Structure 1
Amino acid sequence: MRVTTERARCVGSGQCALLSPEVFDQDDDGLVTVLREEPAEELREQVLQAADLCPSRTIRVRD
């Protein structure tokens, strides 16, 4: 699994960092940052939920 984001679209809701703090964080401006571009398989459900709940559809998950 590979995780990418489109930071220019991020609205800073922070749902991703709350749902999967091992993979996502927010910078000083509140925008998403990816901590692990290739997270462990055990984090898949959290990452997919974060992507699904992202209001700006910024998160992309590829297998």
Structure 2
Amino acid sequence: MLDEEQHIQFRARNRVSERDTIASAAGMGTVTTLRRQLHRTIGVPPDTYRRMFRHEAAVFGG
């Protein structure tokens, strides 16, 4: 069984791995390239974009 710190580290590694997979599947190669392209395309960093939709979901019950 994992203690809390090990669990947090495991989840963080999983997220990085998922992002690498997504970047590769999108043809961007790396997460950094994907992040930069998203910023250029939508005009805001990816974390800002996600926050906008989290707020919208909270407001509209989504």
Give the alignment's TM-score, normalised by structure 1: 0.24
Give the alignment's TM-score, normalised by structure 2: 0.24
| Larger Rg, first or second structure (1 or 2) | 2
Q: Taking CA–CA contacts closer than 8 Å with sequence separation of 6 or more, which of the two structures ends up with the larger relative contact order?
A: 1
Q: Which has the higher strand share?
A: 1
